[in-house]
Amino acid sequence: MNKDVAQLVEMGANPAQARAALSKYKDLMDAAEKFFQGEFDNVQEDEQAQSPASNRAEDVEMEDDEEVEEDEGSDAYVDYDSDEDDVQQDSATTKVNDPYAGIFFSKDRREEVIEVEEEPLFVSVPGIDEQVELMSQGKFMAGCPEQGEQSFLFSLYSELSESQLNDHDGKCACPSGCGHTVKRQQSDFFALYPKFSTYIQRLQQIVPQKCPKCQTDFCFACGEKFTQGFSEPLWHCANIQGVILGVGLFMVERLFEQQKEDHEAKDTSEREPKRRKTRDVDGSDFSGGLGRKSKGGIGYAGEVKEDNSGQAEVQALQLAKDERIRSLLAEVRVYLPSLQRAGGARPCDYLPHPSSLTHLRRRFNLITSELLRNDSLADMSDRHGLYFELLEWLETISSHESLCSMMPMPIMRNISQQTVVKKANNMTIRERKIIYEGSASPRELLEVIALQAQAALKGLESSKPPEIVEIELSEEQKRQAVVDTKGKSKQDSGTLDETAKLSVFCNRLLATTSQIDRSLRDLKGNDFVTRMHASLPKAFTSASNAVYVEAGETEEEAKDAYMKWATASRFEYCDLTVSGADSSDETLNYKHYYNNEIRMLANASIPKRSVAIAKELAILTTNLPVAWDSSIFLRVDDTRVDVIKCLITGPEGTPYHNGCFIFDVFLGANYNQSPPSVKYMTTNGGKYRFNPNLYADGKVCLSLLGTWSGPGWVPFKSTLLQTLISIQSMILCEEPYLNEPGWASGAGTPQSKAYSANIRRMVVRTAMLDALKNPPEPFEEVIRTHFRLKARAIQKQLDDWLKEDDGKQLAGDGAEYAGVGRGTTGSGSSNGFQADVDALKKLLKEL
């Protein structure tokens, strides 16, 4: 009975009501119907409540354990115990106030399903010129890994179509008992018309039936009488709603997949020619500027310019495709169960067919998953029509007590499939073995976008125009103002429209998130929502709320701890101003290389720039790369979001590995028409040049920044994230010697090895030892935690570097090693490298 209890709880009953209903009505659907009719509204506690609370908690936990053993993987969620400490802390209060304390939604599920691939079957339908495809039973049930839900789908399809597998062979009998029957055919309810509206019109014609014998009006879908005065046949019963949602969502899913395949095919065909290597006149790989070589180097091909033509056409095509999907979604949404329906809820809204939930979980969730995995808030805002419709669906679903559990429930995604061909009775049968795996829930996916929306709104704050002081102008001044604004009004209007569009979209998305939480709180309780929030992704934590993470005993535990910490710490707002400044100066100073430029824009209001920064923040909040091998951390000033500091940890396999490299970033007055200003700060006081593209004075040579040849910054398309990743992967590279144009052909040469050895010595002294001794603001905690969690791995790395060292003296600019034979070789003990390593190891042990 435990599984049935869980399903009733999911529909909105508390455990006591579920047990009482199932005790009286053994059938799940009968029990659910009586529950929704209010028969068990007065049931607050069952007999178990009379026993001590601790015993009751024990019983519930034992039942949950038994259910997991007997029915593991058969439901859409897994029941398992909460943490023992939490349960023992106050078991009585928890069980009374939080009936869902023992129910969690786990993503650790994997199901394997066998589906038969059926050939499409087409039939002629009256009133339609061309033949119409039938939705087979296999297609109606496809994509459902839950055995219990499969039975609901099978039952509904069999009941509403001609089939040898049901008792009445697809016949619908007159409910008056006169003996008249009407035979149902597959084309009645399962024809896939070119338009959804045509399907609805067809149902409106066939659902109301009148018995020719006794003149009784009855429903063709459920076989029951229409009540007197009932004039909405498509709202009569749950059967109709279940089949409409099944067919409608199948049509949406098919359209969505077709357009996705078209886009991928077009994208592949357009990319293919660009894979050719650019050749110089002598046939060799072109190495002008920063030539790409197989081992390292930045990889730009000279003065190549990116072709940006056709972008408007592509965008218009995308919006046209979105509109087709949006329109179809809007048509189908009308038939979602909704207790807030205009004109009042209909009978099927109160007790929807179980297949309705099944269709939503597997078909709509697929679309939800794909759309919400879009990591660009700006793209969502540009495609706001489709995404507004998606939010309408999420709001409607979360507001219904039978459907709201979908929001925190993991989505079962198809992660792999294999086609198997079998021979049986001289027939070829094609089967698909599909593996489904739990993934992020709709609410979790929405949280990632909500975090971006919050960051974007923070970025838009600077676009608020200053208070306007009315000044009396002369007639000449008025005429001159008109002349000055000619030709600019349209552009300014477009910028303001974009600001408003992004702001409206962000606020609407946050409102939807709040409504979902409000509905879950009303239907599941505060404790349930609190636990759910604890499991949702976090964009950032403040330094004061930083959680201490243990490194663990093994490297695997250390890696897990590092990822957990880095993900939570990669993006933070903080105060980057200089404290104790002259109080007479109202313009703040900043601990930043570009302090003067920052101060000059203190009171500037540039809407176009603010929109660009808002979009940038949205991307950075949740998309900064974090990994055991290399991560990027950002600190953004809390009140001036254009003021940024960045820390990049050196990638594995490079002479920069695990070093901490600081960059000051400022998004200037012309951002995003122009690239950001980026200055490299880890220079040992302007003494060390760590790379041909990182100068001792802090200059960063990168074509995106306009400081090197190659494809440059593309206004309103290039991003700061793209710039930072380019520095991480293309400058902090495996063989930095090759980044110098004149040395691009020297891969693996003694000069290249000597250059890398010198960088390792600089990294240990400045980017590791000095960074740990005197961690620069505001990355003190990041640097200490980075080295603490990786202490064991770094000690081994240092031993390896000592063995590889060539014994030469450390040089501030490795260019002097271009000549062979400079310096002396040895163990590294005579050049100070050993002393630096020993000092660093001592600090690591102290950590």
Phi/psi of residue 359, each to 5°?
Answer: -60, -40
- Dihedral sign of CA atoms 407, 409, 414, 420 in order: negative
Q: Are 81 and 183 part of one and the same domain?
A: no
Q: Which of 104, 122, 141 is the last residue of a domain?
A: 104
Amino acid identity, residue 398? S
| Separation of alpha carbons 641 and 635, rounded Å | 9
User: How much is the pLDDT for 42?
Assistant: 74
Domain boundary among 440, 459, 494: 440
* pLDDT mean over 198-215: 93
465 pLDDT exceeds 60? no
Per the model's pLDDT, the better-predicted residue between 109 and 484 turns out to be 109
pLDDT band at 40 (very low <50, low <70, confident <90, very high): confident
pLDDT of 346: 85
Q: How many CB atoms lie within 10 A of CB 404?
A: 22
In a domain, 244, yes or no: yes
Q: What is the pLDDT of residue 735?
A: 93
pLDDT at 716: 83
Q: Which of 207, 204, 242, 245 is nearest to 348 (CA)?
A: 242
- Reply yes or no on whether the pLDDT at 769 is more than 90: yes
Q: How confident is the model at residue 743 (pLDDT cuts 50, 70, 90)?
A: confident
Quote the percentage of the chain above a pLDDT of 90: 40
pLDDT for the residue 68: 35
Shared domain for 156 and 249, answered yes or no, is: yes
Q: Are 452 and 430 in contact (CB under 8 A)?
A: no
pLDDT digits (tens, 9 = 90+) for 504-521: 999 999 999 999 999 999
The string of pLDDT tens digits covering residues 650-669 is 999 999 999 999 999 999 99
Per the structure, the count of domains in the chain is 3
For CA atoms 697, 701, 704, 709, give the dihedral sign: positive
Helices (H) and strands (E) in the chain, counts: 30, 17
Residue 529 included in any domain: no
Q: What is the pLDDT of residues 371-418, one digit of tens each?
A: 998 878 888 988 999 999 999 999 999 999 889 988 998 888 888 888
Of the listed ranges 20-24, 767-771, 815-819, the one predicted with least confidence? 815-819
Q: What is the pLDDT of residue 843?
A: 94
Residue 236 carries which side chain, given as an amino acid letter?
H
Per-residue pLDDT band for 143 (boundaries 50, 70, 90) equals confident
Query: Are 800 and 681 within one domain?
Result: yes
Residues 92 and 142 in one domain: no
| Each residue's pLDDT tens digit, 305-316 | 455 556 778 888
Calpha distance 240→220 (Å, rounded): 9
**Is residue 336 in some structural domain?**
no
Q: Identify whether residues 202 and 55 lie together within a single domain.
A: no
Asked whether residue 421 is domain-assigned, the answer is yes
- Active-site annotation, residues: 701
* Averaged pLDDT score across all residues of the chain: 79
Query: Are 454 and 510 in contact, with CB atoms under 8 Å apart?
Result: yes
Phi/psi at 644 (5° precision)? -135, 145
Q: State the Cα–Cα distance between residues 82 and 76, nearest whole angstrom.
A: 18
Domain annotation covers residue 401: no
Residue 262 in this model has a pLDDT that exceeds 60: yes
Percent of the chain scored above 70 by pLDDT? 75
Whole-number pLDDT of residue 190: 94
Asked if the bond preceding 778 is cis, omega within 30° of 0, the reply is yes
Cα→Cα distances 168→165, 172, 173, 236, 627, Å: 9, 8, 9, 21, 61
Q: Residue 342: is its pLDDT beyond 80? A: yes
730 belongs to a structural domain? yes
Strand partners, 123: 132
- Averaged over 611-632, what is the pLDDT? 92
Q: Are residues 773 and 682 in the same domain?
A: yes
Q: Is 709 helix (H, G, I), strand (E, B) or coil?
A: coil
> Quick one: average pLDDT of 106-119?
82
**Both 69 and 133 in a single domain?**
no
Please answer whether residues 211 and 180 qualify as being in contact, where contact means their C-beta atoms are separated by less than 8 angstroms: yes
Domain of 92, in residue numbers: 2-104
Q: Is 308 exposed, middle or buried (0-12, 13-18, 19+ CB in 10 A)?
A: exposed
Tell me: do 18 and 112 sit in the same domain.
no
The residue among 402, 418, 440 that closes a domain is 440
pLDDT higher than threshold 90 for residue 782: yes
Q: Tell me whether residue 309 is in a domain.
A: no
Q: Per residue in 573-605, pLDDT tens?
A: 999 998 765 555 677 899 999 999 999 988 888
Asked whether the beta carbons of 699 and 680 are under 8 A apart, the reply is yes
Residue 789 pLDDT level (bands cut at 50, 70, 90): very high
Q: Is 552 helix (H, G, I), strand (E, B) or coil?
A: coil
Do 69 and 185 reside in the same domain of the chain?
no
Examine the domain organization and report whether 208 and 82 are in the same domain.
no
Residues 59 and 181 in one domain: no
- State residue 290's pLDDT score: 34
| Residue 421's pLDDT band (cuts 50, 70, 90) | confident
Region 468-484: what's the mean pLDDT? 48
Distance CA 351, CA 222 (A): 14
Least confident of 451-465, 642-656, 777-791: 451-465
**Planar angle of CA 360, 524, 108, nearest 5 degrees:** 60
* 77 lies in some domain: yes
- The CATH code of the domain that includes 605 is 3.10.110.10
- 841 and 803 housed in the same domain: yes
Q: Are 64 and 79 in contact (CB under 8 A)?
A: yes
Q: How confident is the model at residue 490 (pLDDT cuts 50, 70, 90)?
A: very low
pLDDT of 432 reads: 85
pLDDT confidence bin for 276, thresholds 50/70/90: very low
pLDDT of res. 462: 59
Counted residue by residue, the chain has a size of 847
Residue 423 banded pLDDT, cuts 50, 70, 90: confident
